[in-house]
Amino acid sequence: MKPFELHTPQSVEQAIQYLENANSLIKPMSGGTALMLMMKSGVYEPEALVSLSKVPSLHGISLDSNQNLQIQALTTLSEIEHSPIVKEYFLVINQSMKKLANVRVRNVACIGGALAHGDPHMDMPPLMTALGATVHIRSASGARSLSIENFYLGYYTTLLKEDEIIESITVPSIKNRYCLYLKCTTRSADDWPTLGVAVNLGLTNNHFDSSKVVLSAVVQTPTRLFEVEKLLDGKTPSESLFIEAGEIAANQVDPEDDARGSAVYKKQLIKVYVRRAIQNSMQGKVQS
Ligand SMILES: Cc1cc2nc3c(=O)[nH]c(=O)nc-3n(C[C@H](O)[C@H](O)[C@H](O)COP(=O)(O)OP(=O)(O)OC[C@H]3O[C@@H](n4cnc5c(N)ncnc54)[C@H](O)[C@@H]3O)c2cc1C
């Protein structure tokens, strides 16, 4: 690995100073689980890294009086998984962590890195899109907040600028909603997903409302399936509706052949997993 400088700021202000006028050769680092792999393989050869791990204000999880969740960017995936707040109010996040990589990765990787990395084969971006999360971003020129739904532009590409860091994310309350994230892997259960589906469904008087259905991995960015959402809203849950949702989803997306499977195989996965995600979310408990 090529030598590089490592900065360890103690505050957000110091961190964004290091990144002021940053170019592609200087990057913020959270857990380093993705960055180190890219550096060891020579894909990325930075001049400097700005490690955010020693910034106290970037750690922690809290809930406001409306049950909205705030997660600071340097909170590890394990801390999120084991948080009593997350278990009680956002069980879907807790459950999704169990099959995200392995415990060694989750002990080190942080939510900021998991969202900023922009690899299409990741579990948090589709789930956070379905949950309607907002990312809060800082740089020397100020602060801004973006809906995660609009954050991903393409393969490893997000709206983040080189001088910006993710400070935290907010996830709105999912009280009384049915939420589930399902992934399909073609190797071990905790491998990178070949396909991911996240659903966040409301049910009023036994009719779906404000449905969100998000597909990932078979597409370059987490993608809301608007046609499926339109189909569900206003309808009563039924086996035939779930089947139709899967078929519409498969028609809405054009996956590509790759090492994880052919386009034909992935279309079949979409059909089955979208149906299953909607159906299984209804069998789970509504979030209290
Ligand atoms: C063996 C293995 C298996 C894995 N399996 C899965 C899996 O099944 N599902 C899955 O979702 N992921 C999986 N991953 C990916 C893992 O989730 C990512 O490596 C991890 O989420 C990145 O987080 P990090 O904190 O280590 O980020 P880092 O490696 O520190 O950073 C990643 C990128 O994000 C940028 N960045 C980091 N923090 C910030 C910030 N606060 N603000 C702005 N930019 C930032 C960095 O500059 C870098 O470009 C796996 C990884 C490994 C090594």
The DSSP secondary structure of 113-125, one letter per residue, reads HHHHS--SS-SHH
Residue 288 domain flag: no
Identify whether residues 47 and 62 lie together within a single domain.
no
Q: For residue range 185-214, list pLDDT tens digits in order.
A: 988 877 889 999 999 999 999 999 999 999
Decide: 135 and 115 in contact? Cβ < 8 Å. yes
Amino acid present at 64: D
Backbone phi, psi, residue 253, to 5°: -125, 145
Can you tell me which residue has the tokens 């393989």?
41
Q: Tell me what pLDDT residue 23 has.
A: 84
**For residue 27, what are its two tokens?**
């990057």
Ligand 1 atom having least distance to the Cα of 99: 8
Q: Tell me what pLDDT residue 190 has.
A: 77
Identify whether residues 62 and 167 lie together within a single domain.
yes
Q: Measure the CA–CA gap between 91 and 133, rounded to whole angstroms.
A: 15
Q: For residue range 5-56, list pLDDT tens digits in order.
A: 999 999 999 999 999 987 889 999 999 999 999 999 999 999 999 999 999 9
Task: Kindly compute the dihedral angle of the four CA atoms of residues 113, 65, 130, 56, in this order, to the nearest 10 degrees.
Answer: 0
Identify whether residues 159 and 196 lie together within a single domain.
no
- Find the CATH number of the domain harbouring 188: 3.30.390.50
Q: Tell me what pLDDT residue 1 has.
A: 83
Ligand 1 atom having least distance to the Cα of 52: 41
Q: For residue range 96-137, list pLDDT tens digits in order.
A: 999 999 999 999 999 999 999 999 999 999 999 999 999 999
Can you tell me which residue has the tokens 């998000």?
214
Residue 228 domain flag: yes
- Find the CATH number of the domain harbouring 19: 3.30.43.10
With 90 as the cut, is the pLDDT of residue 236 above it?
Answer: yes
Contacts of 154 (CB under 8 A, 6+ apart): 220, 221
- Which of 120, 140, 171 terminates a domain? The answer is 171
Provide the number of structural domains found in the chain. Answer: 3
Decide: 247 and 276 in contact? Cβ < 8 Å. no
Distances in Å between the Cα of 163 and the Cα atoms of 22, 101, 142, 206, 261 are: 5, 29, 11, 48, 37
Among 8, 18, 30, 181, which residue has the most ligand 1 atoms within 8 Å of its CB, making it the best to mutate? 30
Among 39, 59, 117, 146, which residue has the most ligand 1 atoms within 8 Å of its CB, making it the best to mutate? 117
Can you tell me which residue has the tokens 């809301």?
224
Its domain, for residue 152, covers 58-171
What global pTM score does this model have? 0.97
